[in-house]
Structure 1
Amino acid sequence: MEIKFENVSYIYSQGTELEKYGLSDINFKIQSASFTAIVGHTGSGKSTLIHQINALLKPSKGNVRIGDDFIINNEITGKGLKPLRQKVGMVFQFPENQLFEETVLKDIMFGPLNFGFSKKEAEDSAYYWLEKVGLDVSLADKSPFELSGGQMRRVAIAGVMASNPEVLILDEPTAGLDPVGQKEILALFKDYQHQGHTVVLVSHDMDIVANYADEVLVLEAGQLLRQEAPQTLFQDEKWLHQHALNQPKVTAFAQQLAAKGFKFESMPITMAELVEVLTPKLGGKLAEDG
């Protein structure tokens, strides 16, 4: 599903002395079946923005369009929210805030049952996603609150994906996971995109953004500064430095190599790109030295 923001502003404590813009006149479009990352410092508006996509927060001004069927603005009522939230699933930053049932299985089944799945359909989907997120089915009858933080994160993810949302919103989804677990979960999200779903990821980790995102939105103080491919964004070292944003570690390393004489047509942003560029160069150098 396509996501479109049209002159969207969100004002906290509107009409009071504490009035503050969380978002200011935001315009962008996210293509259907794309993987988009949202980056920016704490307080930049990232959470405020993603909460507009399933109407947890409603725009103070402007419209958010989700596909052809949903328009979210300050006039939308609760009547249209359930079908919207079936289409737009959200994994929050803190998984313990999403878990509440007495068993893992019931927690994962809750969303599908709420959206009209039969009990068997919900159970089948719950077991399927329990395994897909890397958890053993033996955990199905345990309380989710007996699990580790990383396991709770996986249960929360399974509970959202079990309803098969067309849009998947992820707020720092790999927090609490070790590096192997991060790769497994991110590969799962990328595969979900490739199946035709739209994925939106909030992350502070530029290596994750470089490796998985098709496009990046950069927010600062409630404003959208840039929307472009990570390959383009991460070339602009000066601009990133001005806005206190990091480059991927691979790009920073490549710049150190460039300072020592290596030639790059453009700076690599992933390890795969770096290896592809360096292999023929190092191969030729080794042949000369031999």
Structure 2
Amino acid sequence: MSEDLARRGPEREAPGGGGAEPAARAPAADGTESMARAPGVGDTEPVARAPGVDGTHPVGRAPTADGTEAVDEVGAEHPPPRLFTAVWPPAAAVEHLAAALGELPSRQVERLRRFRRTPPRQWHVTLRFHGPADPAPLAAELDRRVPAAGPAPRLRLAGAGTFRGVLWIGVETATDADTRGLHELVRIAGGDPGGFRAHLTVARWNAGLPDPARLIGPLSGYAGPWWDVAEVALVRSDPGPSGARYRALHAVPVPRRAAGDQGGPLGP
């Protein structure tokens, strides 16, 4: 997969113009949080950001409170858009996971009705699903609270599992401090950390019962590279014939770690 594909992520809304599944905590067998901690200090690397359409990282303008910035989206003649707040993994993490996914067991896939993979450009970790909502107050809340949040949490994609109709990859934090940082972002997005299970959806199906052990296979032991959350994005989700289309309406950078603060490991 090309780097351009991995970095595209959600489309960015142009100024003046105008999310999508319930978020879920790194899953444990008993339903409690199982954010793993990894010891050690790694080399530093550039902090990843949720990518823009052209590979750059613009931060979109929030719709104005009176609706003028988003008149086509939330005006009286249009229903409010479906929104969610999320973070996007960097290109290196996307490419690593895409290579690990490979070909899923054909016999398992054939048993599932309308099985389809999620395009890598749409891979994200949802912090809060809002449903139909006015983006203006949500964007304003991100503007107010994200810059005051703690340093960017360090994460990696690791492990795998299934919900009903969903194949997901889990999320681990590097340290307890990173777990607290991720939960802080969930609260800022309006979510409840107590009911949060961080995951990234890689495939869906409409009906059928897979054999989880065979469908997941070696993915149960998957562990990707570490990365720091760069920004929190407010995203709209529009239905389409080939699946939902995501457009980032607004994004706010997360404070970087202080100089010399390596936190948990970086790299594989």
Larger Rg: 1
TM score, norm. by length of structure 2: 0.23
TM score, norm. by length of structure 1: 0.21
Bigger fraction of residues in helix? 1
